[in-house]
Structure 1
Amino acid sequence: MTSLNSPTVAQLPVLAAQAYGDRRALRFKRDGAWHTLSYRQLGAAVEQIAAGLHRIGVRPGDRVGLLSETRHEWTLCDLAIARTGAVCVPVYPTSSPEECAWVLGHSGARTVIAENAAKAAVAAALPGVEAVVVIEAAEPYLALEELRRGSTPQELAAVEAATAAVEPDSLATVVYTSGTTGQPKGCMITHGNWRAAFTAIGALLKGLDADEEVFVHLPLAHVMSRSVQLVALEHGAGLAYFGGDMRNVVAELSEVRPTILPSVPRLFEKAYAVARDLPPETVAQAFGGRLRLAVTGAAPIAPEIQEFFASCGIPIHDTYGMTESTALVAANLPGAVRPGTVGRPLPGAQIRIAPDGEILARGAGIFAGYLDNPKATAQTVVDGWLHTGDLGRLDADGYLTVTGRKKDIIITATGKNVTPAHLENNLRRLPWISQAVLLGDRRPYPVLLLTFDAEAVLSWAAQRGLPPDLTELARHREVRAAVQRELDAANERYAPPARARRFAILDHEFTVDAGTLTPTLKIRRQAVIDRYAGVIDELYA
């Protein structure tokens, strides 16, 4: 496995262009056809964008907002921002206008690169934003293609000088946590932090080279997705970007035939629900037939799902990390997967468990702190140890199991502590349940709110001659009986105080727009409690 060992992200595109030349770097879909960029073309495009950014006033240390769905231009712009010595501030494309305003305003972004006119309008309305560039040309904004034209030797020299001045401790990006409570905090990540992430993820993606291709479909505002693609570029592998419609991801996997798939548990849960009775070779072909490694994180994945895909030749490597650790600190490495755990500490990282059960992490990837929030920084990093807020345990072999979030612990009216994650994960194994939230703080006993996976439950209902109406299905005796059977089986695994006594099924999913999910699709528990207070009260009537 070749590696550039680029000391900073600013140097990465030039070194990659020199080392890998005409090797395919990026593949993307446009108008139904796949197009490619070589490493040489990638390097040239990044230089043009960087020169254009310098032309419109971007200077080292400036904050540049990047507001777009996942697409190859996102990567070009991210690398170009680094080349100018500026600081990329990614914004989740699912963020509300208010959240966009907070991130761009708090970070001090004066220049914003937006995907289209709608996103550009949000940025342009902010008082501190002076320049807006759009990826998809739209008046009255400066188009990215226009920005790339006419680079002068002076501009290119200025970019080169800016890159040369970037040090490992220079700020590379400010990534805002999605925040299940309160306003998002800006995590300051340095070029040295990225370097540590490259080392850690390189151990997971061992063997990455020109024959490999990574399928990119997760939001690039997420530090894990972004770091995996940077590692791929460091090693000369290819990146294939999905076409923009999540419904087509599986179909595109069979077209692209990637070898590496970073994803989220929900993709594999939905695939498992459909494919568990199919022959292993059929499942492998549905994912392209070449997939040697799938990487997941952000939420637990059921061991039986991991075991099923492993039997199909698709090992799923569960991992652990967070924005504050610059991606991963632990992972199940190839040949050493232990289902139900998130693996062992990666190179350069240390993990220990505090007396109260909290997971603590230390290493070169630990972030430089929260932007303009020294109090929160001091509370989060103590004596070099990152206090993750997660609960967990280490086994005798050093494998980490995450058992829940400290702030999610339910204390019932009888004083019993209940960790919601276990039971929630059990209920989500039903193929047509998409979300499960265990509630019961200061209440006599825990209860559950469940939401449907609309497509899956309607298919299940049609097979049984049940009405194709989500509201009716949520109340239907046969549906509730199926959930009750699953709940009874799950409850048997836990002590009586941790068992859910009653449940309600909603006829709609939690969403980012409704405020019940974060941009990274984590549950905002307090928002759920507030929004569904009446439903919850009925469960205790």
Structure 2
Amino acid sequence: MREFTVPPLADPPKSGGLADAVFQRAAREPGQIAFARKVDGRWHDVTIGTFRDEVLALAKGLLAAGLRFGDRVGIMCRTRYEWTQLDFALWSIGAQAVPVYPTSAPDQAYWMLHDAGAVACFVEHADHAMTVGSVIDKLPRLKLLWQLDEGAVDELSAAGAHLDDDVVERHRLAVTPDSPATVIYTSGTTGRPRGCELTHANFMAEADNILLRYAALFRPHQGEPAATLLFLPLAHVFGRMIEVTAVRGGVKLGHQPDPSAPVLLADLKAFRPSLVLAVPHIFEKIFAAARRKAETEDRLAAFDKAADVAVRYAEAREEASFGTGRGPGPALRLEHQVFDRLVYARMRAALGGRARYVFSGGSAMQRRLGLFFAGAGIPVIEGYGLTESTAAAVANPPERPRYGTVGIPVPGITVYVAPDDEVWLHGPQVFAGYVGDRPGSEAAPRDGWLATGDLGSLDGDGYLTITGRKKELLVTSNGKSVSPLPLEERVRAHPLVSQCLAVGNDRPYVAALVTLDPDGVAHWQLMRGRPTMTPSELVRDGELEAEIRRAVVAANTHVSPPESIRTFRILAVQFTEEHGLVTPSLKLKRKAIEKAYANEVEALYRT
């Protein structure tokens, strides 16, 4: 199959913008709980009426400060409640937010604020203020800078108190679906990030079709409203889509700025979300942590058995849903019941004990990991999309997931796989173009079609599998084309591996650079009574090398011999954003890594 379409479920908006949802919900039911805000270590509910009043006051403050319809405003901040206040206040006056990753270096912040033509910027704290301040002399259009930790929201709200509410109302009514809502910059894995202009209509089409197609995810459960804890960066389109969908769909939304495991797990238990949205890395960490804990408690064999049962159970249910099997048999169901009490219930408790679904996006999830969570009673909905498609363009249906694929098009989207296997997208969620592009430019969608740069295939049921990136194909000196992504992901599935980069362009074979997972290695050392080994000692340790070799051999079983990793080098340090080797969304910058580790790459090919 080369093309598959799912018709839209939501009518395209004829008028209005994203801020309308706040004002309309507040007019209907001002006491409805819309948010939970963490204050002094405790979660406090916030009604939609209260949030509307906060947005209105902040919008008046922005107008009083001189912002006008169409202005672009930078936001350099972690995921927190004030970001959502700012988004809806800016949308209320027809302005546009320009997210800047909170980890951005001065040059990165400069590029986004300059390219977008931002006239103002919000930063979270003094360090961010220094980052922007260090390049502000090169940003002549940037006239205003506010710091959230210094009370910027209250300050602005007070400054605009003298304005009538009607002033904001007139601005809000002037916003149309085609008005730009935000400029979000791509990750920049192969070059300078590009600013995607996303409209109010793009977000409304995305959110409203998701809400209708995946209604089961957003219904109240056990007398409580649907709720989600947002810990993904709001600088990323995935996080912004969650924010918009929650407000439009009446989902209680919490914000968590610190995604480190101890803080996040504690807040998941306290917040108790019904829906968890994350990248595969989070689920890999949860699984690896549970397995390490089982090993320290001398329960590793039982945990691995439970994991195998969960995978087989979910696989049997998957086969039944597609008519290729009868579902779990009596013996498997009995094993599953036993392990549900002993193991799976603990996994569900780690997510707060109330999660009915998890949504995974941002990168590919290994099929076995998805099956494990589904078998443990936490169904995974894996999706796929880009900044240019306003997040998810494709996602697995909850009633019929096919693990290892990213699912079928969300309503309104057409997926086309070109003769060279590049995935193309078409639909109302697809953006119109990049900042600075002229209509009809090569980079803009052609007749509404977005060439994603990703390679993939559609099966007979319309499920899409992503197989790699077009620009990241390796071509060996023997003329063999190799997609490195599937190989890298399988190596990375090993608990001792953090990152894997395959190399081999114009080389006789494929090789790899591997970095170690700090938590996994610390546990490995502890279990072997060698907790004091230095990183340089670790990379030369024969036992550890043998473990990594097993991961490489296992990955190679899925490809032909010419495509397999022939040799590898373990590195003592991580690829980090600080050194310009990964993007803020943790994607590897291949050319930068190969340049930084040119000597190590050369050593892989010495005979």
Equivalent residue, structure 2, for 1:161: 170
Alignment-derived partner of residue 261 in structure 1: 276
1:10, 1:166 within 8 Å by CA — same for their partners in 2? Answer: no
SS at match of 1:503: strand
From 461, 481, 494, the counterpart of 2:559: 494
Amino acid at match of 1:482: E
Give 1:213's aligned residue: 227
Equivalents in 2 of 1:201, 1:110: separation in Å? 33
Maintained 8 Å contact 1:348/1:363: yes
TM-score by length of 1: 0.95
Residue in structure 2 matching 1:227, options 241, 265, 286: 241
Structure 1 position 523 matched with structure 2 position 588: yes
Give the Cα separation in 2 of the matches to 1:209 and 1:73: 26
Q: What do residues 307-326 of structure 1 show as CA deviations (whole Å, max 9, x unaligned)?
A: 11111111111101101111
Conservation of the 8 A alpha-carbon contact between 1:110 and 1:129: yes
1:127 to 133, 137, 140: 140
Q: 1: distance between equivalents of 2:583 and 2:29?
A: 38
Per the alignment, residue 519 of structure 2 pairs with 455
Match of 1:285 among 331, 343, 349: 349
Q: Contact 1:199/1:347 (CA < 8 Å) preserved in 2?
A: no
User: Whole-Å Cα distance in 2 between the matches of residues 393 and 19 of structure 1?
Assistant: 45
Percent identical among aligned pairs is: 39
Correspondence for 2:256 among 221, 242, 246: 242
Aligned counterparts of 2:191 and 2:354: Cα–Cα separation in 1 = 43
Q: Greater shift after overlay, 276-285 or 352-361?
A: 276-285
For residues 155 and 191 of structure 1, what CA distance do their matches in structure 2 show?
Answer: 25
**Larger radius of gyration, structure 1 or 2?**
2
**Counterpart check, 1:471 vs 2:485:** no
Task: Label 1:155 to 1:119 Cα distance change in 2 as closer, same or farther (>3 A).
Answer: farther
Aligned residue for 1:82? Answer: 91
C-alpha separation in 1, matches of 2:577 and 2:554? 31
Given the superposition, is the C-alpha separation of residues 150 and 383 from structure 1 closer, same or farther in structure 2, using an over 3 Å criterion? closer
Which of 482, 491, 500 is equivalent to 1:427? 491
- Superposition deviation, residue 29 in structure 1: 2.3
The equivalent of 1:17 in structure 2 is 26
The answer for the alignment partner of 2:368 in structure 1 is 304
Superposed displacement of residue 387, structure 1: 0.1
Q: Which residue does 2:313 correspond to in 1?
A: none
Structure 2 gaps of 5+ residues are: 1-9, 292-302, 304-341
| 2:507 pairs with one of 443, 466, 473 | 443
Match in the other structure for 1:536: 601
Aligned to 2:325: none
Q: Which runs of 5+ in 1 are unaligned?
A: none
TM-score, normalised by the number of residues in structure 2: 0.85
1:147 and 2:156 are equivalent in the alignment: yes
Whichever residue aligns with residue 468 of structure 2, its letter is: G
Deviates most, 103-112 or 154-163:
154-163
Q: Quote the offset at 1:181 in angstroms.
A: 2.1
1:154, distance to aligned residue in structure 2 (A): 3.4
Whether 1:99 and 2:108 are equivalent positions in the alignment is yes
Structure of higher RCO (CA pairs closer than 8 Å, 6+ residues apart)? 2
Counterpart position of 2:445: 381
Residues in 2 aligned to 1:310 and 1:486: alpha-carbon distance in whole angstroms: 24
User: 2:535 & 2:181 partners in 1: Cα distance?
Assistant: 46
Q: How far apart are residue 203 of structure 1 and its match?
A: 4.1
CA contact (8 A) 2:16 2:173 kept: no
In structure 1, what residue type is equivalent to 2:519?
E
Q: Is the 8 A contact 1:28 1:242 kept in 2?
A: no
Pair 1:350 & 2:414 matched: yes
Secondary structure of the 2:69 match is: coil
How far off its partner does 1:31 sit?
A: 3.0
Q: Which stretch of the first structure deviates more once superposed, 223-232 or 202-211?
A: 202-211
Is residue 203–residue 333 contact of structure 1 (8 Å, CA) maintained in 2?
no
- CA shift in 2, pair 1:178/1:111, >3 Å: same
Q: In structure 1, what is the Cα distance between the partners aligned to 2:512 and 2:367?
A: 22
3-state DSSP class of the match of 2:539? Answer: helix
